[in-house]
Amino acid sequence: MYSSINRCNIKSKSCGEGQASTKSPNQDLNECDKLLSMFQTVRINYVDKQAFYAELEAEIRGLLETTWFTNLSNVSAALMQHLPDLNWAGFYLHAKSEVLQLGPFQGLPACLSMPFTKGVCGKAARERVSVLVDDVHEFPGHIACDARSRSELVIPLVIKTEIGERVLGVLDLDSPLPARFTEEDRKGLERIAAILVGSTHWPTEF
């Protein structure tokens, strides 16, 4: 006898109480089970990065709905699950004027907030460009939330509004390996960030 914790309706992407089943977890998977088990067990092959990001993008598109905290939570979980050698993946949000506030993430508890003037995240938010740091010890003003972090990639989340661009926050990825992130990672993750920004209903204030 096996039991599943969640049962999911793919159309509404909502989950309900689990039910006992007489089948093994790998038998006769319905669409919901497939979605859940995909994220629990499968890692996309990271050797061919172009193929990797195409598949990751498709998976993330399948997860997205419109609620900002739901999307940010699931995107951080999917990135942590699929990208090898990360110790932190998540979001800082532009909650107060030129201050980033910790949002949904995976990894160790982290700094609660940081100004646009500080850290790798601050630089990405301030300059509205992705920042790839091979060795965080060489980055002046790096904020060490997790002492294991050695390299970092931060991607700003920017949306166009009627009165100009609005910085929503940043996607922050940390690795314990030096020079973990490449230009291919930057491009693939910028694309995922753009899809996330475009698919989400953003509140006027966080």
Kindly list the residues in this chain that would bind ligand SME in the complex (CB under 6 A): 88, 110-111, 119-121, 142-143, 145-146, 149, 152, 172, 174
Q: In this complex, which beta carbon is closest to ligand SME, that of residue 99 or of residue 110?
A: 110
Output the smallest distance, CB 132 to ligand SME, in A.
13
Give which of 54, 108, 44 is closest to 82, Cα–Cα: 44
Closest CB 124 distance from ligand SME, rounded Å = 8
Least CB distance to ligand SME at residue 40 (A): 25
Residue nearest to ligand SME (CB): 119
Could you tell me if 153 and 188 are in contact, meaning their C-beta atoms sit under 8 angstroms apart? no
SS3 state of residue 15: strand
Burial of 134 (0-12, 13-18, 19+ CB in 10 A): middle
- Minimum CB separation of residue 26 from ligand SME in Å reads 36
